[in-house]
């Protein structure tokens, strides 16, 4: 296959980024032998006494500060010989702050480590494997298996667990019950019902639309969810883990149908809308359906009231099964440079225990990772969270794991392809050409990763 100059430049950039990630592992592993106590990535640290001071970095500071301070107060009361220093860092700044500390020192003992950032941190040898600590703890058998698998898969391909899940901000299909009732439509629990509703609720002359589609920042993940949900394909890679399934004919057909909704059943502004604009548009207008996640539930309650909408899990496909791509899973990780890992682990174990995990997720409106917390009373009052928790815990949902471990994943799923998806929506590029391009990029990135990992 011929490769354009543009693709050659892009390929070179990818190889460079992958080489940097691998080089960082080798360099930091080498320097770890001469530990200078600076707390940089690769520093082996120590288990410590299980007492004294630990530092915790919150990866969503400001938004989650209040609830974390409650959890810390409870922890210190239960563990009077351990003091926790809380550092709240804005979500938009967290990854760069950790990367800087990995290189220059000053890492905390424990911090928020979600799926999207796992590969970068573990590639720099900054995180402690947690498999043995988890299986030997009170949490064993009480943490959602799909969330564990999402974080394990995101960790870099070595099969280890580098973060204990705290919550999932699961994907939700919100729909206007008042508009559905008025039109005599059933709930969009299947993709067929979804498309029927999108068509019947659209009256462009009255500025009424069946759906709002995400065409701006963050559009790729939503499109992948719609593709795999309809096609029923349950793996992102073929059996040999060499070829991506994104351009499987079933996925191409699914994207064609989904993208064709643009301007026919959606507002024209959607081609540029990120989640904030999309949510605001849905809350203030007469649009039948919206795909987002649990994070916007309270916005909808404030704007519409609980009587005018519902939030349900993604529709099921023709087989009657629900398939969705891995949604953001957050967690807590131990940094390898910590000199007090035993105390830091006590904090992780406490924070993800039944009571504390329930407290955190009730505040955040997300799905608890602790399976006992997922049954608590507050979830029954927040229907989208309740249904999402049931879907993740009852075996009805198959999760397609996204390749967060690839150094190039963020580039491929954002800068490289968001503009191309807009072209598909605008009719300037075919769904097949778009997905073939994305598959080629993914296959190349996967081949480089397999080579580096000795596979």
Say how far apart CA 311 and CA 176 lie, in whole Å.
Answer: 9
Among 183, 168, 170, 186, CA closest to 314: 170
d(CA 83, CA 374): 29
Going residue by residue through the chain, which has 455 residues, state the pLDDT in tens, using 9 for 90 and above: 333 333 433 444 444 444 444 444 333 333 333 233 336 666 788 999 999 999 999 999 998 999 999 999 999 999 999 999 999 999 889 989 999 999 999 999 999 999 888 888 988 999 999 999 999 999 999 999 989 988 998 887 788 999 999 999 888 999 999 999 999 999 999 999 999 999 999 999 999 999 999 999 889 999 999 999 999 999 999 999 899 999 999 999 999 999 999 999 999 999 999 988 999 999 998 999 999 988 888 889 999 999 999 999 999 998 889 999 977 799 999 999 999 999 999 999 999 999 999 999 999 889 999 999 999 999 988 899 999 888 888 888 998 988 988 888 888 998 899 999 999 999 999 999 999 999 999 999 999 988 887 75
CA–CA distance from 238 to each of 187, 234, 246, 352, 434 (Å)? 34, 10, 10, 34, 19
Output the pLDDT for position 82: 98
Predicted TM-score of the model (pTM) = 0.78
Cβ-based neighbours of 100, under 8 Å, separated by 6 or more: none
Q: How far apart are CA 172 and CA 117, in angstroms?
A: 23
Please give the pLDDT value at position 259: 98
Q: What whole-number distance in Å separates Cα of residue 266 and Cα of residue 282?
A: 11
φ/ψ of 234, rounded to 5, equals -110, 5
pLDDT of residue 7: 41
Radius of gyration of the chain (CA): 22
Contacts of 62 (CB under 8 A, 6+ apart): 88, 90
Q: What is the pLDDT of residue 135?
A: 96
75: enclosing H helix or E strand:
helix 65-78
pLDDT at 2: 34
State the pLDDT at residue 453.
74
Q: Report d(CA 395, CA 146) in Å as an integer.
A: 10
DSSP SS3 for 117: helix
Which pair of tokens denotes residue 358? Answer: 């329930």
The pLDDT value recorded for residue 342 is 98
Residue 183 confidence (pLDDT) = 97
């Amino acid at each position: 296959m011929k490769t354009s100059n543009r693709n050659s430049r892009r390929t070179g950039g990818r190889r460079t980024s992958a080489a940097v990630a691998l080089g960082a592992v080798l360099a930091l592993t080498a320097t770890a032998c001469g530990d200078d106590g600076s707390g940089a990535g690769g520093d082996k640290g120590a288990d410590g006494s299980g007492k004294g001071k630990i530092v915790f970095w919150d990866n969503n500071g400001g938004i989650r500060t209040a609830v974390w301070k409650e959890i810390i107060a409870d922890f210190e009361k239960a563990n009077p010989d351990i003091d926790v220093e809380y550092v709240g860092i804005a979500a938009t700044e967290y990854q760069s702050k950790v990367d800087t500390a990995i290189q220059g020192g000053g890492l905390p003992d424990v911090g928020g480590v979600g799926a999207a950032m796992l590969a970068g941190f573990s590639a720099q040898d900054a995180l402690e494997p947690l498999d043995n600590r988890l299986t030997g703890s009170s949490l064993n058998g009480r943490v959602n298996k799909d969330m564990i698998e999402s974080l394990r898969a995101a960790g870099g391909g070595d099969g280890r667990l580098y973060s204990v899940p705290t919550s999932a901000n699961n994907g939700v299909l919100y729909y206007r019950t008042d508009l559905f009732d008025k039109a005599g439509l059933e709930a969009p629990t299947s993709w067929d019902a979804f498309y029927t509703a999108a068509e019947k609720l659209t009256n462009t002359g009255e500025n009424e639309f069946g759906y709002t589609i995400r065409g701006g920042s963050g559009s790729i993940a939503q499109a992948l969810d719609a593709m795999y949900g309809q096609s029923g394909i349950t793996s992102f890679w073929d059996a040999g883990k060499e070829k991506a399934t994104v351009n499987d004919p079933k996925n191409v057909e699914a994207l064609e149908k989904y993208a064709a909704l643009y301007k026919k059943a959606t507002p024209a502004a959607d081609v540029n809308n990120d989640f904030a604009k999309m949510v605001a548009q849905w809350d203030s207008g007469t649009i039948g359906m919206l795909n987002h996640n649990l994070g916007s539930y309270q916005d909808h309650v404030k704007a519409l009231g609980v009587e005018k909408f519902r939030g349900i899990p993604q529709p099921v496909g023709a087989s009657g099964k629900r398939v969705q791509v891995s949604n953001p899973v957050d967690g807590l990780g131990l940094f390898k440079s910590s000199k007090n890992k035993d105390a830091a682990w006590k904090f992780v174990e406490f924070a993800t225990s039944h009571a504390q995990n329930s407290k955190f997720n009730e505040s955040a409106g997300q799905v608890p990772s602790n399976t006992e917390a997922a049954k608590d009373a507050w979830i029954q009052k927040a229907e989208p969270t309740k249904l999402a928790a049931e879907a993740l815990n009852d075996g009805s949902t198959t999760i397609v794991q996204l390749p967060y471990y690839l150094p190039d994943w963020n580039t491929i799923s954002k800068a490289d392809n968001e503009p191309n998806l807009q072209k598909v929506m605008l009719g300037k590029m075919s769904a097949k050409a778009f997905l073939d391009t994305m598959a080629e990029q993914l296959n190349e990135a996967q081949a480089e990763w397999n080579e580096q990992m000795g596979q």
